[in-house]
Amino acid sequence: MLSIHKITVLITVLLLVISSRTFSQSEVLFAGEELYYEVNYSFINIGWAKFTTEKVPGKENFYTCKAKLKSNNSLPLIDVDFEFISEIEYSEGKLRPHRFTSNQLKDGKKSVEVYDFLYDSLKVNIKRTGYEGNVEIEKTINTSTVFQDGLSIFYFARANTNKDRTEYVPVLMQTDTSMMKIDFSSKRTGVEISEVDDEIASVYLEGLSYFTAVFGLTGEFSGWFSRDEARIPLKAKLQVEIGSITLELKSWKHGNWQPPKY
């Protein structure tokens, strides 16, 4: 029979394992997930973003992730209309994009960027086609580095929450190489969103983008993710060219997921 001392030690070890566990990867990339966010500048709604995830048929650990980012049509000075598609492999805690497509729509026309990540050849092929169908950029980057793209970085951040460390993440953005610094934290915190009455249990990260992206995103950012296996992004604050904007979760579809109470 175990002594009281041994039982106490066993319970302590179990609690440490549970509190520091690496969350299940199947919840971060979840087939059928839909997340919808409003984008606000102060009290003004300037647009929205929707993210979806589906399993790639016949390919184990491969997912097709899509994002639609659209500015508010009633604001003539802001014109954002993007569609992102990223085929992502997520296995043993490691996330690698294999193909990224960015469609920018304007006046009924479309400009397309495609990145093909050829890991066996240690290459990334990049091609941008303009609104008139002309090839504007076509090049190959020779590299053994695993880069994230403009959409996979969203899932990379989710996959690495609940850790205490700083990472410098190589990113391909606007057909060029760049970097993003992310300070992850496992500290439990609470965050409020308008769709939920109670504070939500979350983990926090902050960082710095060394590039300019959609909505003029550049510089400092911070975000709150649900402190559970799904690690749903709940709210983010981002620096853009016009100032600071906030993304906030407004609706979700992720199995039976509900925000965990703080």
Tens-place pLDDT, residues 35-81: 999 999 988 999 999 999 999 999 999 999 999 999 998 887 788 89
pLDDT at residue 9 is higher than 60: no
Note whether residue 260 is domain-resident: no
Note whether residue 35 is domain-resident: yes
Note whether residue 262 is domain-resident: no
Instruction: Give the residue-averaged pLDDT of 227-253.
Output: 92
Query: Considering its fold, how many domains does the chain have in total?
Result: 1
Note whether residue 77 is domain-resident: yes
Note whether residue 246 is domain-resident: yes
Note whether residue 2 is domain-resident: no
pLDDT tens for each residue of 141-189: 999 999 999 999 999 999 998 889 999 999 999 899 999 999 999 999 9
**Residue 1: predicted pLDDT:** 52
Residue with the bigger pLDDT between 237 and 211: it is 237
pLDDT at residue 217 is higher than 60: yes
Q: 111 with 128: CB under 8 angstroms?
A: yes
Note whether residue 11 is domain-resident: no
Can you give the residue range of the structural domain that contains 155? 24-253
Note whether residue 15 is domain-resident: no
CATH number at residue 61: 2.40.360
